[in-house]
Amino acid sequence: MVKEFFKRSWKYYLIGIIALMAVDVAQLIVPRIMGLAIDKVEYFTKIRDEATMMKGITLFVLWIIALATGVFLGRFVWRLMIIGSARRFERYALRILFEKLLYLDPAFFSKYSRGELMSRFTNDVRAVWRMLAGGVVISTDATFMGIMTIVMMGKFVSWRLTWIVIIPLLFITVIVLLFGKTIHKTFAQVQESFSQLSGFTEESISAVRIIKGFSAMGKFEDMFNDKAWTNLKARMKLVLISGIFWPLIAFIGRSSSFLSLYFGGKMTISGGISIGDFVSFNTYLGMLVWPMTAIGWVVNIIQQGTASLKRINEVLKAQPMVKEKDDAVEIQSIKDVKISNLNFCYPDDDRIVLEDINLDISEGQFVGIVGTVGSGKSTLAKLVLKLFPVERGRIHINGIDINDIKGSSIRKKVAYVPQEGFLFSDTIYRNVTLGESYSEEEVKNALKLAGILDEIEKLPQGIYTKVGERGLTLSGGQRQRVMIARALIRKADLYIFDDCLSAVDPETEEEIINSLRTTMKDKTLVVITHRLKVLQTADVIYVLDKGKIVERGTHEKLMGKKGLYYDMFVRQTAMEN
């Protein structure tokens, strides 16, 4: 990710680095000018030539003003180029992370909570941004400034004195190497504990009604405190390391000043260097302490940035479980779906979910899928959508193996309403259209087919009413019907409703299904439901139990068998009466 970004942005960084070096050169000239000015003042004072002295001082002042102006312009350029490029990286990183998440399949999201993924978007991207902004600036500035300062100290004052005062500064490199790995490891622990804390917080807020309903507030407070305490311990460990690291570097940096005062003072008294040289040298030394100290900052920033980059790359390197062939075909329509001798286990799970499944769905059919809880009904729908990998030769669409078809083209022709549907905290209109350009009339027609238009029009702003987070301002049944409208507005060939009307009463569900069947006679309709009454007019009903199809046929045929379907139907009818 960083390499790809630099391929496009290296010119901006190069301009910024050149401007930064120019600023450093200008800053390095100032102490030399001050030293010369002091020596000149001392000289003119001795000869008592006040007019010449004022001209010389004026010239030095003008030079300093010119250099200060150059520093101002240079700092503007390097900030614009380097910090600006780092901000562009931030946008770039967020975009490719978001795009990656959109194209990963459900198996990936079972490994990471939403809070953990969000921490990649916030803390981790920000840490990498600091590495590409402050890290680049400080490392460039420290390296160039350090080398040039040493050269200026040795060339214009004394190499002997220069080597004496930089000896303690060399120990900073040793300290950096000793602390670097520890900082990296500790920061990774901080980020991981923060991910756990933010993930738990996000889930708890989402489930606050359940927590209050079961009066589990105290228990969740305890769990939150445990995770917050773990995060605090990791952060305090980082504070402890920093508490040793920075004072130690500062102490070593200041020790050079003591050597300068002692040895430099002796050389000034003995006439080895002038007073102006001594002032210049100490000014340079003050400037040298910063690059040496900055090594610590750079290491800290880079270690944190690389730790976060590793966490970001975990997401970017993740591969979908469903592999798309390079020569996969696109289908223009769905005529039929055929499942043959299908056995299926979820990734990383040996438990058999579906066993020896044989199922045919033809164009224009009304197909019902029923069964016991956990019998694999929803899994069947997800496999038809190519959300999980299946063995070759088991599922065919239009006679083509599903592994040879692009998953995106399948999902464009299938309108799927899952049982765990989701509404965005936006208007009903945008929840139905999902950003597509449908007219108001088309939206209302879809809502009408879903049996909810009358209720929506009674809301304050009709279809432009905002539904709140996850649609919680609507009832469960209203949310489900809005999600059905979202599917109906699309020009699909196959509509799959996965127990998506469980929150409405049986009569309303039956009315909606019958209305859909009447309106979409040429479309294929698959209804997965626990309410068998709505399937009485289905062309074929498949009955699943423990991952196997145990019965199939029309309602009348299955009732005549007096098997599992019959028992389920009789029991439901008795409960309704």
The SS3 call for residue 422 is coil
Give the residue from 194, 185, 191 showing the smallest Cα distance to 229.
Answer: 194
b/e 520-548 (16+ beta carbons within 10 angstroms → b): beebbbbbbbebbbbbeebebbbbbbebe
pLDDT > 80? residue 273: no
> What are the residues facing 339 on neighbouring strands?
359, 395
d(C-alpha 15, C-alpha 85), whole Å: 11
Residue 63 clears pLDDT 90, i.e. is over it: no
The residue-averaged pLDDT of 204-227 equals 78
Residues 19/79, Cβ–Cβ less than 8 Å:
no
The per-residue pLDDT of the chain, averaged, comes to: 82
In angstroms, the CA 78 to CA 65 distance is: 20
Asked if the model's pLDDT at residue 366 lies above 80, the reply is: yes
- The pLDDT tens digits of the residues spanning 491-525 come to 889 999 887 777 677 777 777 788 778 777 788 99
CATH superfamily of this structure's domain 2-316: ABC transporter type 1, transmembrane domain (1.20.1560.10)
Per-residue confidence (pLDDT) for residue 53, from 0 to 100: 58
* Residue pointed to by tokens 């004394």: 158
Tokens 């009339």 belong to residue: 441
Helices (H), 167-274: 171-206, 208-213, 217-259, 265-270
541 three-state secondary structure: strand
Instruction: Give dist(CA 208, CA 228) in Å, integer.
Output: 18
Q: Give the C-alpha separation, 528 to 542, whole Å.
A: 10
CA 338, 340, 345 angle in degrees (round to 5)?
Answer: 110
Q: Quick one: pLDDT at residue 48?
A: 58
How confident is the model over 138-156, as pLDDT tens digits? 888 888 877 887 887 787 7
Domain 2-316 shares a fold with domain 336-576: no
Q: Which fold has domain 336-576?
A: Rossmann fold (3.40.50)
Sheet containing strand 414-417, strands side by side? 414-417, 494-498, 524-528, 366-371, 540-545, 548-553
Q: Domain residue spans in the chain?
A: 2-316, 336-576
In this model, does residue 44 exceed pLDDT 60?
no
pLDDT cut 90: percent of the chain above it:
13
- What is the average pLDDT across 263-275? 79
Confidence of residue 577 (pLDDT cuts 50, 70, 90): low
193 has pLDDT over 80: yes
Q: Tokens at residue 253, please? A: 């940096």
Q: Which two tokens stand for residue 160?
A: 């002997």
Contacts 24+ apart (CB under 8 A), 264-269: 264/161, 264/165, 267/158, 267/161
Task: Give the residue among 513, 350, 287, 284 at the shortest CA–CA distance from 417.
Answer: 513
The phi, psi pair for 415, rounded to 5°, reads -100, 110
What is the pLDDT at residue 293? 65
Query: pLDDT, tens digit, for every residue of 388-429?
Result: 888 999 999 999 999 999 988 998 898 888 877 778 888 889
Whether 440 and 447 have beta carbons less than 8 Å apart is answered as: no
pLDDT in tens, 11-43: 888 898 888 888 888 877 766 666 666 666 655
Residue 538 neighbours by CB under 8 Å, 6+ apart: 366, 367, 368, 527, 554, 555
pLDDT value at residue 346: 84
- Which pLDDT score, from 0 to 100, does residue 307 have? 83
Q: Does pLDDT of 130 surpass 80? A: yes
**Residue indicated by tokens 């409703």:** 497
